[in-house]
Amino acid sequence: MSDEDAPTASQPDAGLAERLEAGELVRWIYLYGDRRRLSAILLAAVFGVSLLLIRAGLITPAEAGDVTTLSGALIGGMLPFITVVLAINQLILSEEFGSTGAFFQRLEETREYRHRIEDHTGYRPSPAEPSEFLRVLIEAKRKTALGLQNVCRDAPSDVRSRINSFVSQTDPKDRDAIETLGAAQFGSFTVISVILHYNDPWQLQVVRQLREAHRADLSEAADGQLERLEELLGDIHIARQYFKSVYMQQELADLSKILLYVGFPTLLGGAFVIIAYGNLLALGLHPYVYVLVVSATITALFSPFAVLLLYVLRIATIARRTAADFGPFVLQQELPKEETETLEFS
Task: Give the whole-angstrom CA distance, residue 270 versus residue 72.
Answer: 8
Q: Is 223 exposed, middle or buried (0-12, 13-18, 19+ CB in 10 A)?
A: middle
Higher pLDDT, 80 or 208: 208
Specify the pLDDT at position 136: 92
Specify the pLDDT at position 188: 73
Specify the pLDDT at position 46: 94
Q: Taken in order 32, 33, 36, 38, is the CA torsion positive or negative? A: negative
Q: Where are the alpha helices (DSSP H) in the chain?
A: 16-20, 24-27, 35-55, 64-78, 80-94, 100-121, 130-151, 157-182, 189-197, 200-213, 220-282, 287-322
Query: pLDDT band at residue 119, thresholds of 50, 70 and 90?
Result: confident
Least confident span in 91-95, 199-203, 275-279, 315-319? 91-95
Specify the pLDDT at position 9: 39
| Percentage of the chain lying above the pLDDT 70 cut | 85
Tens of pLDDT, residues 137-167: 999 999 999 999 898 888 788 888 898 999 9
Does the pLDDT at position 345 exceed 70?
no
Specify the pLDDT at position 113: 87
Specify the pLDDT at position 202: 83
Specify the pLDDT at position 52: 94
Specify the pLDDT at position 71: 85
Specify the pLDDT at position 191: 84
Cβ-Cβ contacts under 8 Å for 267 (sequence gap 6 or more): 75, 78
Does the pLDDT at position 67 exceed 70?
yes
Does the pLDDT at position 14 exceed 70?
no
Residues 297 and 276 sit within 8 Å (Cβ to Cβ): no
pTM of the model: 0.76
Question: pLDDT averaged over the chain?
Answer: 80
Q: Taken in order 5, 9, 15, 18, is the CA torsion positive or negative? A: positive
SS3 assignment, position 36:
helix
Does the pLDDT at position 223 exceed 50?
yes
Interval 288-301 mean pLDDT: 91
Interval 25-53 mean pLDDT: 90
Q: What is the largest CA-CA distance in the chain?
A: 92
Does the pLDDT at position 341 exceed 70?
no
Specify the pLDDT at position 331: 53
Specify the pLDDT at position 323: 64
Higher pLDDT, 229 or 343: 229
Does the pLDDT at position 16 exceed 80?
no
Query: pLDDT band at residue 329, thresholds of 50, 70 and 90?
Result: low
Does the pLDDT at position 34 exceed 70?
yes
Does the pLDDT at position 317 exceed 80?
yes
